[in-house]
A and B are shown apart, each in its own frame.
Chain A
Amino acid sequence: MESEAAGAPASGEVVNSIRERTISENSLVVLLQGLQGRVTTVDLRDESTAQGRVLSVDAFMNVRLKDVLYQDRRGRRRQLQDLFITGRNVRYVHIPDDVDMMKTIQNQLDKIHRVRSFGSEGRKEFSKKSN
């Protein structure tokens, strides 16, 4: 069911598109990507809000949420099972209070760097092999 283009299965893995990784690495969207799995609220441009669990955020700030309480701009509430918000329509993403932002950013960047350099000669488990 996960879309391939969003690219992110449940556990906060890094997207397989070089372009998206580069965009993420160079912008604060990487912080939002670290919120995967967390419940949070997204405020939209039209002043509606969506509160739900973050499934994924891509480099273009498209946000996928699950089990959402959506309140439209007139205040009417409804539940949505799955919600995809186009990046352009996002005004704010609330960061939960208990999230350590610097750590989250660092973790995401580490993941990106790991994906990039995986396969280099320096794999720890093999670094001591003698030839």
Chain B
Amino acid sequence: MVVLKSLHPPTEGVRHQQADTTAELDGLKLGCGTLCVAETRLLWFDDSRKGFSLEYPSIGLHAISRDVCSYPQEHLYVMVNGKVGDENETEMGAADDDDDSSKEDDDEDGAITEIRFVPSDKTALESMFSAMCECQALHPDPEDDESDNDFEGEEYDVEEAEAEHGHADIPTFYTCDEGLSALTQEGQATLERLEGMLAQSVAQQYHMAGVRTEETKAEFDDGMEVDAAAMEAGQFEDADVDH
């Protein structure tokens, strides 16, 4: 039995909204409603605002299906780890302990839910799919091996620090005092280091003659790709070389 909840769709962070979309949960048709692809979660609800929401970490995969031999309508297919709309779920979309543990149990069991979102406008499938890809990427698995994220400040960057303080990977550039005061201590140290390197490199530019040293500059790409010869063959690790 599928239990639908009353939902309050988010007003912010909505990457895509598709009305006139029917939803089917494990073969059970829920009727026509609206799919809302928001950064925080995925929701579907009918005209009376009853529906279900999905947390991105619970989504195993999503796909565009145009194979009318296996299913007669073109649709967005979503596979969820665990059971959606289970009457054992207590809160609406919020993660309380009971909810988490019941979802984890489902996950361990290998129980899945197959969901099909069938928009009346088939041309919208690509946007729906892309929006889901974007939102999915915003929720990397926290159980992943976190040691890979310890990059020891080798590529520490003011923009990155700013992004981690809640601006979700939107790069910000500061060019004035406001920016300088926004630097953390580490950022300030990095800035001084970079400025020192700049001063050094100006002095060194006459000694280059084909030998390149790696220096850290602000990231930019104007499309002028340099020759592909490896700078220092075999050097994988960051070591003491500044990037």
Alpha-carbon separation in the docked complex, A19 to B160 (Å): 8
B residues 152-170 near A (Cβ < 8 Å) are: 154-155, 157, 159-160, 163, 169
Residues of B within 8 A of A78 (CB): 65, 67, 69-71
- How many residues of A sit at the interface, in one of the four size bands? 35 or more
Closest to A66 in B: B64
Secondary structure of the B contact surface, majority rule: loop
Residues of A within 8 A of B61 (CB): 44, 50, 83-86, 89
Are A80 and B77 touching (Cβ within 8 A)?
yes
Query: What 0/1 readout, one digit per residue, does chain B (102-140) give for beta carbons within 8 Å of chain A?
Result: 000000001010000000000000110111111011101
Are B60 and A117 touching (Cβ within 8 A)?
no
Q: Which of B18-26, B41-49, B177-185, B216-224 contacts A (4 or more CB under 8 A)?
A: B216-224
Q: How far is the CB of A21 from chain B (nearest CB, A)?
A: 7
Residues of A within 8 A of B112 (CB): 46
Are B141 and A60 touching (Cβ within 8 A)?
yes
Would you call A6 an interface residue if the criterion is a C-beta within 8 Å of the partner chain's C-beta atoms? yes
Residues of A within 8 A of B210 (CB): 124, 127
Residues of A within 8 A of B57 (CB): 88
Would you call B91 an interface residue if the criterion is a C-beta within 8 Å of the partner chain's C-beta atoms? no
Residues of A within 8 A of B229 (CB): 124
Are B137 and A113 touching (Cβ within 8 A)?
no
Are B227 and A124 touching (Cβ within 8 A)?
yes
Would you call A96 an interface residue if the criterion is a C-beta within 8 Å of the partner chain's C-beta atoms? no
Decide: A87 near B141, CB < 8 A? Known: A117-B215, A128-B209.
yes
- How many residues of B sit at the interface, in one of the four size bands? 35 or more
Are A119 and B208 touching (Cβ within 8 A)?
no
Decide: A89 near B60, CB < 8 A? Known: A5-B134, A80-B77.
yes
Residues of B within 8 A of A17 (CB): 169
Residues of A within 8 A of B217 (CB): 117-120
Decide: A21 near B110, CB < 8 A? Known: A5-B137, A70-B63, A110-B230.
no
Q: Which residue from A5, A76, A85, A106 sits with its C-beta under 8 Å from B60?
A: A85
B residues with a Cβ closer than 8 A to A are: 57, 59-67, 69-71, 77, 81, 110, 112, 126-127, 129-134, 136-138, 140-141, 143-145, 148-149, 151, 154-155, 157, 159-160, 163, 169, 201-202, 204-206, 208-221, 225-231, 236, 243
Question: What are 7 A-B contacts with C-beta separation under 8 Å?
Answer: A3-B137, A19-B169, A79-B65, A82-B129, A86-B141, A116-B243, A120-B215
Known: A46-B112, A78-B67. 16 other contacts (CB 8 A): A19-B160, A23-B148, A23-B151, A26-B148, A26-B151, A46-B110, A62-B133, A83-B61, A83-B63, A85-B60, A88-B141, A89-B81, A106-B230, A114-B225, A116-B155, A118-B217
Name the 9 nearest CB pairs between A and B, nearest first.
Answer: A122-B212, A5-B137, A78-B70, A3-B133, A60-B140, A79-B67, A80-B63, A83-B63, A88-B141
A residues with a Cβ closer than 8 A to B are: 1-6, 16-19, 21-23, 26-27, 44-46, 50, 58-60, 62, 64, 68, 70, 76-89, 106, 109-110, 113-125, 127-128, 131
